[in-house]
Amino acid sequence: MLALIFLLTTVMTLYIKLLLLYVWMQWTGCNFNNPFLQCAIKITYPIIKPFQRILSVFRPIDVASLVIAYILSLLLVPVILRLLRFESIFFYLALILLVKSAGSLVFWVVLSRSIMSWMHREANSLDYILLQLTEPIMVKIRRFIPIIGGMDFSPMLIILILYTIYFIGLEYIPGWTFI
C-alpha cells in the first residue's frame, strides 16, 4: 500500500509541477517551438483542453492549468495525509501544496540554470528555455545587486528568498508542515 501511495503521490506531484511549468512558460512568453514546451503541451493538453474553453477569459495567465493543478492538489492532500474521508480543510491545504510546488519549481529551475551556466558549451534548447523562464525574475534582482566581477549573485538571492519564505511558512502558516 505504501508503494502505491508513493507512486500516486510522485506522479500527481510531477503533473502538478508540469502544469505550473506550463503556466510559467506561457506567462514569460517562451518560444512555443521549443521541444520542452511541445512536450509539456502534449502531456497536459488532453486534460486542459475542456477547461480552456470555459476559462479562456483570462488570457495572460492560463487559468485552466492553474485550476487543474489546484484540483489535483485537492485530490492529493488526502493521499498524502492517508485519510479516506474528505474534509473542508483540504481546500486550504491544497492551496498550500500548490504554493509550495510553485516555490519548489522556481528553486529547481533557477538551480538548473545556474548549473548549466557553468558548462561552457553551445546553447541548446534546454539552456534557452531556462534563460527565458528565469531571466524576468533575475533582471528584477539585478536592479538591486548588479553583476560583480563577472559573478551573478541573483540566483543565490532568489534561492535565499525562497528558503526564507519556506521558513516563514513553517513558523506562521498553519498546515505548512503537513504537506
Q: Tens-digit pLDDT profile for the chain (179 aa)? A: 788 889 999 999 999 999 999 889 888 888 878 887 888 888 888 888 888 877 766 667 788 889 999 999 999 988 888 777 888 888 999 999 999 999 999 999 999 998 888 876 677 888 888 889 999 999 999 888 888 888 889 999 999 999 999 999 888 888 887 76
3: which 3 cell numbers?
508503494
Q: Alpha carbon 92 to chain centroid distance?
A: 18
Contact 23, 66 (CB under 8 A): yes
Cα–Cα distance measured from residue 101 to residue 75, given in angstroms and rounded to the nearest whole number = 15
